Amino acid sequence: TQLSNSPTRNVGYEILSQLPKEDHIAPMLSLNKTKDREELRDWLKDEEGLLSFKLDGLTIVLTYNEGKLFKAVTRGNGAIGEVVTNNAKTFKNIPMTIPYKGELILRGEAVILYSDFKKINEELDLDNQYKNPRNLCSGSVRQLNNEITDKRNVRFYGFTLVSCDEKDNLATKSDEIDWLSSLGFECVEYLKVRKETILEDLETFALKVEKSDIGTDGLVLTFNSKEYSSSLGTT
């Protein structure tokens, strides 16, 4: 695995006139929202859930072909996104090559760490400073000049395996995340939860948020079983 910040990488800077738009092969859907922790416990029933951070950045879809990063597209409106491949090649922690040689598509969140955000803002006049890391990240990922993106220290954290030949062999969503990690991707932190312990687990994650260098705007709870989850609908 060759990471983006490897000394052997070769990312050519390029200035574009515009960002091309492209349809997603699978629409990105919205999450149901709640602030009621007991509602989450009841929703789980007797199934195993997967609890993870909802990172506060810009969702990106990466495609790898023959072990190499081939394409990167922003979430956009969920159906159509903008192609930002040259910018993604400057992300600090994504692998430029992976050991899996088939086509692989995954989703993740592009973010700028609080520590990097503070350093970047300190170099700007007060009138030009950014309000939060998310705004800075969004502007950085959608730059027409990827040399600027490179200087913003954007990072990528995977959270969903969209498609690959190996997908059917992975029974749970945690299996998918672990497999992506084995290929060299940094992925969102998760915890397997049950209704008996989820209230304690939510508190554990809430304390983690306070200490994290990555911006979050909530938690995501899904059913871990892919078969059970797909039987329930799309939201």
Please list the active-site residues. Answer: 54
The two structure tokens encoding residue 105 = 């598509």
Are the CB atoms for 142 and 85 separated by under 8 Å?
Answer: no
Closest by CA position to 93, among listed 81, 109, 70, 104? 109
What's the gap between Cα 77 and its chain centre? 16
Distance CA 219, CA 51 (A): 7
Q: What's the rounded Cα separation, in Å, for the pair 122 and 2? A: 31
Residues with Cβ within 8 Å of residue 15, at least 6 apart in sequence: 144, 145
Distance between CA atoms of residues 146 and 140, nearest Å: 8
How buried is residue 177: exposed, middle or buried, by Cβ count under 10 Å (0-12/13-18/19+)? Answer: buried
For tokens 């993740």, the residue is 108
In 3D, which of 22, 32, 79 has the Cα closest to residue 54?
A: 32
- In what helix (H) or strand (E) does residue 44 lie, and over which residues does it extend? helix 37-44
The 10 Å Cβ neighbour count of residue 89 is 20
